Amino acid sequence: MELHYTEIEGVRLRLAHPDELDIRWVGSDAVKTQLLACWQVVDERDLPLTPRLIGKPGVGKTTLAYAAAKALERPVYIFQATMDTRPEDLLITPVISGVGEIQYVASPLVSAMITGGVCILDEGNRMSEKSWASLAPLLDTRRYVESIVAGIKIKAHREFRMVTTMNDDASTFEIPEYIHSRLQPQIFIDFPDREDELHILRENLPFVDEQILGYVVDFLQRAHDRDERYTVRDGVNIARFAAKMFASGPKDVEKTLREAVRMVAGEEALDYLVDA
């Protein structure tokens, strides 16, 4: 794979490669339109917004962000945030090259800033305040970051766009208010309705029998009505596993589907099953 470099203030940076994923958004067009509207620039004095996509894990936040970014026909860079993400991970990391020299590697976020791409900061509320603080000037009218490691300031390309996804659960850091005010607006992604959910399963699993897909969607819809945590991601795994079990030989349909649900989603998920 060819490596790409650029130079800023005399410092040579190795850029990250864009992400190329074989996925597309199948859910609500309304939320995709809202995200694309955030990235619009309506006047030369205007700036794009940096929104938050919020929802339970597995509802398709990253898929939506990627699909919207690809609609702009720009390179897309995904940065996976974790509790261990440091400011230098977000910006520029020094590494030792094969000849013993220090080489500076730009993160996916900084690479998107330089190339005019789109950065998806995935699961942003996994990060600590210290990491978010390093992005504060990027998220307001200044549109730059400063790397203490490399000793340089990096200005964002005018075409640079950014979005962060955030899971609606308790296992995350509290985002400080000065960052919250910069990550606007909030776009909420809810569970899909039955028709959309079945469409998503068909799109991901075109080789799986319709009876299996229908059973899984009924399970998911019952769980959604009770605001349970099970999402279409769980549904894809349940249906895929059930199809694999059926492929290995004749089996009792209802028993096999129940077993697939139990093994993927857990014993408590059986409360939301219907007869096959």
Same domain, 128 and 201: no
Half-sphere exposure of 5 (CA within 13 A, CB side): 7
Query: Residue 241: phi, psi to the nearest 5?
Result: -65, -40
Q: Model confidence at 235, in pLDDT bands (50, 70, 90)?
A: very high
Q: Which helix (H) or strand (E) holds 61?
A: helix 61-71
231 Cβ contact list (under 8 Å, min separation 6): 56, 57, 58, 59, 191, 220
* pLDDT, averaged across the chain: 92
Residue bearing tokens 């990027």:
138
Which among 168, 167, 260 is positioned nearest to 219, based on CA atoms? 260
Give the total number of structural domains in the chain.
Answer: 2
Q: Which range, of 21-30, 35-44, 215-224, averages the lowest pLDDT?
A: 21-30
Q: Model confidence at 174, in pLDDT bands (50, 70, 90)?
A: confident
Beta bridge partners of 55: 167
Residue 241 belongs to domain spanning = 194-272
> Do 90 and 134 meet the contact criterion of CB atoms below 8 Å apart?
yes
CB atoms within 10 A of CB 42: 7
DSSP state of 52: E
Residue-level pLDDT at 171: 59
Which among 55, 62, 49 is positioned nearest to 187, based on CA atoms? 55
> Do 143 and 155 meet the contact criterion of CB atoms below 8 Å apart?
yes
Residue-level pLDDT at 3: 67
Last residue in a domain, options 154, 172, 188: 188
Q: Is pLDDT at 178 greater than 60 in this prediction?
A: yes
Crossing angle, helix 210-225 and helix 232-247, to 10 degrees? 150
Residue-level pLDDT at 275: 57
| Sign (positive or negative) of CA dihedral 213, 218, 222, 227 | positive
What value does the mean pLDDT take over residues 240-267? 93
SS3 176: coil
Same domain, 29 and 119: yes
Please calculate the CA angle 242-244-246 and round it to the nearest 5 degrees. 70
Burial profile 165-203: b = 16 or more Cβ within 10 angstroms, e = fewer:
bbbeeeebeebeeebeebbeeebebebbeeebbbbbbee
Residue-level pLDDT at 276: 47
* Amino acid letter for position 51: P
Same domain, 34 and 62: yes
Residue-level pLDDT at 179: 94
Residue-level pLDDT at 180: 92
Last residue in a domain, options 136, 155, 188: 188
> What stretches of the chain adopt beta strand conformation (E)?
4-8, 11-15, 52-55, 76-80, 92-96, 102-106, 118-122, 144-147, 152-155, 161-167, 186-188
Same domain, 80 and 167: yes
Last residue in a domain, options 153, 173, 188: 188
C-alpha radius of gyration, the chain, whole number: 22
Same domain, 231 and 161: no
Q: Which range, of 77-86, 96-105, 250-259, averages the lowest pLDDT?
A: 96-105
> Do 25 and 67 meet the contact criterion of CB atoms below 8 Å apart?
yes
